[in-house]
């Protein structure tokens, strides 16, 4: 049955693949953003103006938008909204709108880099040493996306000057950096684990990559999944040095670079629908096109 599937933050340059994947799966792609001045309005099947995240009646407006546009499924991607979607998952489901999102406690852990580090340590998962004090040279905001606010400062006095109450410090990891596109079923069972090297990065976001098989990554991702509950698309960052893996962070949402994960496997959108309908999906890891590369360019759209 054809679904009306809404994607968030469609004004992002990396949102096109998700809209196209929805259309290729035979569903209706409904794009949303806080401004209609974006390319997605030109190629999505429908477009919704969303309120800004600081709107005092944000969720009342969103609920009305979803009802007015007859949305069946929402695929959250905007970090600042993930907790809100998870909190209201059952409320929306009662209205016939399904939200593809992990449980709230999972999101609250992995959106806070300090809680993430504690989670890794408490579950004996390899990661960088971390502190709420400016002890280690790598400094990053506890909350935030990409590389904004991240710096390495080996001079302790200079690091102390730059460090804020909203930061954490970590050891600098060595080795090859990987981003891992994962898809988990309703029972947190991995369907796809697709590691990719980041060929190009702008502001901490991938502009290209290559799918590479790694037995250590597959093993550790499965171990990670046994320690919490993931549902749907999950993005994991890690470093591998020889046969040693260290986790960096987990993004419990769809990610822009997952276009390569889709291309190297199958269109994930039908799986999204099956997950929301509690249908069992087998491990499809044998389908991965190892060695596939992706490079990005911009495409112009014109609206009269």
pLDDT at 148: 82
Average pLDDT over every residue of 51-69: 95
Q: Are residues 69 and 161 in the same domain?
A: no
pLDDT at 204: 56
Could you read off the pLDDT of 75-94 as tens digits, one per residue?
Answer: 999 999 999 999 999 999 99
pLDDT at 253: 95
Q: Is the pLDDT of residue 133 over 90?
A: yes
Pairing of strands 73-75, 98-99: parallel
pLDDT band at 66 (very low <50, low <70, confident <90, very high): very high
Of 106-120, 140-154, 190-204, the range with the highest mean pLDDT is: 106-120
Could you read off the pLDDT of 267-297 as tens digits, one per residue?
Answer: 999 999 999 999 888 767 677 999 999 988 7
Please say whether the beta carbons of 21 and 262 come within 8 A.
yes
Q: Are residues 187 and 291 in the same domain?
A: yes
| Percent of the chain at pLDDT exceeding 90 | 78
pLDDT at 181: 95
Question: Helix, strand, or coil here: 79?
Answer: helix
Last residue of a domain, one of 109, 142, 170: 170
* CATH code, domain carrying 58: 3.40.50.20
pLDDT band at 203 (very low <50, low <70, confident <90, very high): low
Could you read off the pLDDT of 11-44 as tens digits, one per residue?
Answer: 787 788 999 999 999 999 999 999 888 888 888 9
pLDDT band at 215 (very low <50, low <70, confident <90, very high): very high
Compute how many other C-beta atoms are within 10 angstroms of the C-beta atom of residue 86.
Answer: 21
Question: Is 115 domain-assigned?
Answer: no
Number of domains in the chain: 3
Last residue of a domain, one of 170, 193, 224: 170
For residue 16, the enclosing domain spans 4-100
Whose tokens are 């069972």? That residue is 189
| Average pLDDT of every residue of the chain | 92
Compute how many other C-beta atoms are within 10 angstroms of the C-beta atom of residue 110.
Answer: 23
- For residue 211, what are the contacts with CB-CB under 8 A and spacing of at least 6? 194, 195, 196, 260, 261, 264, 288, 289, 290, 291, 292, 293
Please say whether the beta carbons of 162 and 153 come within 8 A.
yes
Last residue of a domain, one of 139, 170, 201: 170
Output the pTM of the full model.
0.92
pLDDT at 202: 63
pLDDT at 15: 83
């Amino acid at each position: 049955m054809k679904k009306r599937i809404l994607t968030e933050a469609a004004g992002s340059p990396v949102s096109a693949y998700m809209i196209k994947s929805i259309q290729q799966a035979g569903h209706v792609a409904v794009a949303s953003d806080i401004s209609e001045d974006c390319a997605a309005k030109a190629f999505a099947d429908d477009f919704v103006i969303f309120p800004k995240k600081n709107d005092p009646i944000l969720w009342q407006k969103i609920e009305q938008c979803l009802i007015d546009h007859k949305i069946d499924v929402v695929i959250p991607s905007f970090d600042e909204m993930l907790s809100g979607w998870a909190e209201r998952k059952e409320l929306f489901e009662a209205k016939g709108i399904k939200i593809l999102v992990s449980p709230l406690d999972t999101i609250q852990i992995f959106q806070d880099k300090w809680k993430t580090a504690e989670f890794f340590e408490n579950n004996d998962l390899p990661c960088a040493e971390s502190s709420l004090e400016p002890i280690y040279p790598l400094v990053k905001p506890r909350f935030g996306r990409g590389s904004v606010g991240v710096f390495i400062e080996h001079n302790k006095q200079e690091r102390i000057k730059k460090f804020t109450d909203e930061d954490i410090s970590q050891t600098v990891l060595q080795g090859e950096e990987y981003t891992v596109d994962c898809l988990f079923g309703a029972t947190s069972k991995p369907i796809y684990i697709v590691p990719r090297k980041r060929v190009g990065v702008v502001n901490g976001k991938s502009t290209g990559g290559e799918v590479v098989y790694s037995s250590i990554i597959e093993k550790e991702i499965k171990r990670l999944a046994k320690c919490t509950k993931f549902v749907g698309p999950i993005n994991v960052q890690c470093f591998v040095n020889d046969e040693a893996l260290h986790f960096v962070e987990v993004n419990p949402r769809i990610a822009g670079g997952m276009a390569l994960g889709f291309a190297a496997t199958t269109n994930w959108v039908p799986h999204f629908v099956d997950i929301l309908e509690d249908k069992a999906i087998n491990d499809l890891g044998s389908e991965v096109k190892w060695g596939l590369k992706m490079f990005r360019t911009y495409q112009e759209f014109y609206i009269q």
